[in-house]
Structure 1
Amino acid sequence: MELIHSLSDDIKELLNPSSTEDARLVQKGLMLYRQGMVHQLHINEYLATAVVQDVTPCKVELDLNFLGLSECSCPAEDLCRHKIAVFFAAFSTVGSVTKWLEEWREPMMEKKSLTSLGIQKAKDLIKANGVLKPDYEGWVRSFEDSFDTLVQTKKTMSPFVVADLFEIYERRLSASAPLEQEWRMLYELIATVVSFRKLAVLSEQAGHTEDMVKRSYLHLFHQMIDDVEDLVAKIGVQSLPFDFDAFILKLKDDTFTLLTCVSGLEQERISFYRLLWSGLFRNKTWRAEETEKIRLGLKDLREGENPVPLLIASIHLHYLQGDDESALNLLRQIEDDIATPFMLHWIDQLTQLKAWKRVGTMIELFLQKIRGYLDELRSYHSCTGFTREALKTIAPYCVETNRTDLFERALLQTLPYSFADYEYMLFERGHYERWGELQAFVGLNYADLPSSKVKIVEKEQPEVLLGILHQTVQAEIDQKNRPSYKLAVRHLKKLRTLYKKMKRQDDWHYFLNTLLDRTKRLRAFHEECQRGKLIEG
């Protein structure tokens, strides 16, 4: 059955054979299955159901389409031994469980053999080749041959072994690095560029999904980005030998392939590219030529090919050349959910240069686009994290230019994810009325408000609390149960106190009479009002 095989692949990707916890989970599920503890197995088109006899019987529903929607009556929240046992029982109807286990455990066995192999290979390489002399084409050819020999020897590549293989590969490169410090840094820089490209291509050719890469070896790309940043900074402050020029020129040309070598790893490829062009390739003529090269590359893109890396690279080069108008025009043409995350980099870079006029223009466009990005991002956690980063990035400009209005607009644009920052700012500035409106906007209950702030607002501007209390009372009444009615009465008493303090007893009586008339069918609520002595019995 096709869906069972698909589920099998999902479980192989989810569970890491090198993880003690995952291995124990599979072993427990296997034991239940082999001991015949899976009963009443029934498989239909989309679901496998069974009862697993454990300490207590557990009912399992295994969703063959979406593993995450599977259910088990045991307390475990995620994948449990009972689901694994039912999976093995279901898989046994279409294939060999023993063979499945061998395939799943293969990456772990590969790791053990490859680690010892890698140590030996590194030693052999030192003996055989020694240190490589300065030769750009020779270096690149050596990097690519080493990568292909060690990493691309197998027909199939499990994502779990990539990091170990790459570590061995890096040791082999380090063994042949030049001894002179200047040449060694250049060697490492070129090696990192080639390695980044080769690993990206391997990832795509092996069919590794975004999630597989993230869980298994995305950290390798991030580490290479950090390494390049350090190398570019070191090389940039040194007086370079004249012989470096030809190497840098060839590296510049090869760097373009980062934009087109694969379709995935968009953020990482663009970050890598921008680092090199910001810190190393500073020649104005080079930047102008690269801009034209990208323009032609965009023109020659085939249908279905991803234009974003080329577009972002073009925008970056326009900024490096001071052509903000062209950069902004390109940004306006890109969808909000694509352009927005990249804009923080330029805001930060221009802020470091104290180019405040340029920063302001970029922030204005950023605030026009951020809402569209957050709406597409959807995950509350991700939206909150991005909002926090965005506010931190634009804050220096707002402080330097005294643009508190711009910062407040950013807070408004990013609600509710900016609630904590906005609430703090309004309260600290004594804008209690707007503070109260913000609480009402996000739907906070009166009881959820910090008591220390409520005391201050009640003393300084008590009318601010009226709206929140009215909203809270209505929300409690709408629950239509006795405990909520009791809470509503408690809040009504607070309302009565505030109205009295403000000498607005007539408004209180009018509101209460209207409320009682509107809720005359809610006998239990009226009883609680009588019990709380809001009305006569």
Structure 2
Amino acid sequence: MSTIPERFLEPLEFAAKELMGLLRADVEEDERLVQKGLLLFRQRLVYQVRFDGDKITAAVQDVTPVKVQLNLDFIHLSECSCPADGFCRHQLAVFFQLLSHAKSVTAWVEEWRQPLKEKKVAKQLGIQRAKDLLKTAGRQKPDYDRWIAAFNESFDTIMTGNGAPKPYVIPELYHVYTRRWKANTPFEQEWKLLYQLVASFFSFKKLMELSIELGHSGDIINRYYIHLFQDLMQDTVEVMNKLSVHSLPFAFDEFIEKLKEDSSDLLTVDFALEYERTQLYRLLWTKFFKKKAWCTEEIKKLRAIDNKNCPILVGILHLHILLGEDETALEYLSLPDKWMTPYFLYWIELFTIQREWKRMGPYVEEFIKKLREYLSVSDDYYAKRNYTNLVIRSIKPYFSETGRQELFEKALSETLPYSYGEYEYILFENEAYDKWADLQAFMNQDIDMLSNERIKAIEKREPTLLLPLYHHSIHSHIAHKGRDHYREAVRKLKKLRTLYKKLKRQEDWEFFLEALMEKTKRLRAFQEECKRGKLIDA
């Protein structure tokens, strides 16, 4: 192969960029994979490269020869005859073979390894700057403003002291910064936890500001360093839980008030991670800023802001809930706004912890009303199923305590098909067999997919409910055509015949069979299987 057809050049460029993200130089397994792919390519073990329509095929002579089909549009969907899972060395070798006729393979590898080199350099520079800071600083005394000034200096020096960091470098630099502020933790045991709380909160804010300054989108943050925000949230919760065990000294009051004043920044900033920052705000106000006067003052502060975004509205609602002003909160929550739906979970869990079942009821009812529309937003089936599982776990304690079975069934109905397993179990256990059968029909479930125990129990108690399930299965198998499906349809017909006989409805059976034979009279193979099964005369 001397050249690549021009129509493949653009997809090849796209695949080259996609592989940059698919494989990571700082992952040992990926590094070995690239090395092996390069070796096969450089030893000229790639041959028989063919371009057939949109397909690219090739052979690679490894220990045993393998066949590769490269998909440049979706490189991760490429195929190889070797037993390896995922993208393998043979697919890489073929990719390098193609790339060598369009650009430098060495340049691609160098660019791929560049982030790893930059991470190492950035880490070393960060460590050096942290050492320089340590020469001029020591253990912090209890002073909120000095703490913030020290955090600011450390963060700015380490994170941006060598210019704007690349997104993949941020975690490395951040861990250096974390070690730096931890080294300045006050000696006094009683101040350590408060210092850690302020540090975690401030670091969350500084990371937000840095992301905004660098123009990082939500996708970039999710790809490279969202775990930093999540870890900070977890650290904040752990510290607050430890602090809440004991009565806080009066000396903390000034610190807590200043932290409270700064907390609204989480809501007002224009930043991608809406849920994470709103959740941190709610956690702080639930566990730490408990005075009613503070909540009332904060509501006024947030209401005075023009152009209220979703986090600000959630913040206001949360404060009303903390004040016990449910009527006001529910008035907001009843508005047709699906983006408010994910925030219900925290409030429901809060009521559950406090065992405020009566108060919780209207919130659960409103939450259930919004579930179907919210689930329609995403196209990701697994994400919707996972969210539904989370919803069911959250609301289940309420129904266990109150016995509102009908409302629980409504929640399961609103979240179908993702709640099918739970709904099916509940209906069967409660012997609501008619609803159970309706659910199978709604889910288009073939009777083959249902357990024999379920079928036997229904056949014993309400056999009529099985008739539509058998009819559906029979028609489905016939529609799929093929001898195997026809034989399965005949087996189901025999069971259906037995069921009609048990119900003393032989005339209905004969009418159905006659109509079916007329409808399928051109399906010779199916008619033959019916004769073999002695459903009709030979």
Above 0.5 in TM-score? yes
Q: Which residue number corresponds to residue 308 of structure 1?
A: 310
Whole-angstrom CA distance in 1 between matches of 2:126 and 2:274: 30
Query: In the alignment, is the contact (CA less than 8 A) between 2:129 and 2:157 conserved in 1?
Result: no
Is residue 2:72 matched to residue 1:71?
no
Whole-angstrom CA distance in 2 between matches of 1:530 and 1:458: 27
**1:486 Cα deviation (Å)?**
0.7
Whole-angstrom CA distance in 1 between matches of 2:55 and 2:487: 47
Q: Which residue number corresponds to residue 342 of structure 1?
A: 343
Q: Which residue number corresponds to residue 325 of structure 2?
A: 323
Query: In the alignment, is the contact (CA less than 8 A) between 2:126 and 2:176 conserved in 1?
Result: yes
AA of the residue aligned to 1:441: F
Deviations 1:312-356 (A, max 9, x none): 2222122112222332333344631x2211111111112222333
Q: Which residue number corresponds to residue 284 of structure 2?
A: 276
Which runs of no fewer than 5 residues in structure 2 stay unpaired? Answer: 1-8
Question: What pairs with 1:16-415 in structure 2 (closer than 5 Å)?
Answer: 16-36=24-44, 49=56, 51=58, 53-54=60-61, 55-63=65-73, 67-68=75-76, 71-72=78-79, 74=81, 78-85=86-93, 87-88=95-96, 96-112=104-120, 128-155=136-163, 157-206=165-214, 208-297=216-305, 299-300=306-307, 307-333=309-335, 335-336=337-338, 338-415=339-416
Question: What pairs with 1:431-510 in structure 2 (closer than 5 Å)?
Answer: 431-510=432-511
AA of the residue aligned to 1:60: L
Whole-angstrom CA distance in 1 between matches of 2:156 and 2:101: 39
**1:370 Cα deviation (Å)?**
0.4
**1:215 Cα deviation (Å)?**
4.7
Among candidates 13, 33, 53, match of residue 21 of structure 2: 13
- The SS at the match of 2:246 is coil
Query: In the alignment, is the contact (CA less than 8 A) between 1:59 and 1:72 conserved in 2?
Result: yes
AA of the residue aligned to 1:232: M
Whole-angstrom CA distance in 2 between matches of 1:22 and 1:211: 22
Query: In the alignment, is the contact (CA less than 8 A) between 1:426 and 1:435 conserved in 2?
Result: yes
* Percentage identity across paired residues of the two chains: 44
Equivalent pairs counted in the alignment come to 526
Whole-angstrom CA distance in 2 between matches of 1:207 and 1:3: 28
Whole-angstrom CA distance in 1 between matches of 2:354 and 2:248: 25
AA of the residue aligned to 1:469: Y
**1:222 Cα deviation (Å)?**
1.8
Deviations 1:464-495 (A, max 9, x none): 21111111111111112211111111011101
**1:406 Cα deviation (Å)?**
0.3
Query: In the alignment, is the contact (CA less than 8 A) between 1:197 and 1:261 conserved in 2?
Result: no
Query: In the alignment, is the contact (CA less than 8 A) between 1:398 and 1:404 conserved in 2?
Result: yes
- The SS at the match of 1:129 is coil
Q: CA 1:300–1:484 in structure 2 vs 1: closer, same or farther (change >3 Å)?
A: closer
Is residue 2:430 matched to residue 1:429?
yes
Whole-angstrom CA distance in 1 between matches of 2:98 and 2:152: 44
Whole-angstrom CA distance in 1 between matches of 2:12 and 2:205: 35
**1:11 Cα deviation (Å)?**
2.8
Q: CA 1:103–1:259 in structure 2 vs 1: closer, same or farther (change >3 Å)?
A: farther
Q: Which residue number corresponds to residue 304 of structure 1?
A: none
Q: CA 1:488–1:57 in structure 2 vs 1: closer, same or farther (change >3 Å)?
A: closer
Query: In the alignment, is the contact (CA less than 8 A) between 2:129 and 2:158 conserved in 1?
Result: no
Query: In the alignment, is the contact (CA less than 8 A) between 1:47 and 1:62 conserved in 2?
Result: no
AA of the residue aligned to 1:249: E
**1:436 Cα deviation (Å)?**
1.8
Q: CA 1:42–1:505 in structure 2 vs 1: closer, same or farther (change >3 Å)?
A: closer
- The SS at the match of 2:272 is coil
Whole-angstrom CA distance in 1 between matches of 2:54 and 2:473: 44
- The SS at the match of 1:56 is strand
Deviations 1:165-220 (A, max 9, x none): 22222111111111112211111111111111122333344455545544543322
- The SS at the match of 2:140 is coil
AA of the residue aligned to 1:104: W
Whole-angstrom CA distance in 1 between matches of 2:194 and 2:480: 69
Q: CA 1:331–1:437 in structure 2 vs 1: closer, same or farther (change >3 Å)?
A: same
Query: In the alignment, is the contact (CA less than 8 A) between 1:38 and 1:52 conserved in 2?
Result: yes
> Structure 1 residues 201-210 or 189-198, which shifts more?
201-210
AA of the residue aligned to 2:301: K
Whole-angstrom CA distance in 2 between matches of 1:97 and 1:157: 27
Q: CA 1:474–1:48 in structure 2 vs 1: closer, same or farther (change >3 Å)?
A: closer
* TM-score, length of structure 2 as denominator length: 0.89
AA of the residue aligned to 1:284: K
**1:534 Cα deviation (Å)?**
0.9
AA of the residue aligned to 1:167: H
Which runs of no fewer than 5 residues in structure 1 stay unpaired? Answer: 302-306
- The SS at the match of 1:270 is helix
Whole-angstrom CA distance in 2 between matches of 1:24 and 1:196: 36
Q: CA 1:9–1:465 in structure 2 vs 1: closer, same or farther (change >3 Å)?
A: same
Deviations 1:72-112 (A, max 9, x none): 45456643445544554565677644344333323333454
AA of the residue aligned to 2:283: L
Q: CA 1:292–1:82 in structure 2 vs 1: closer, same or farther (change >3 Å)?
A: farther
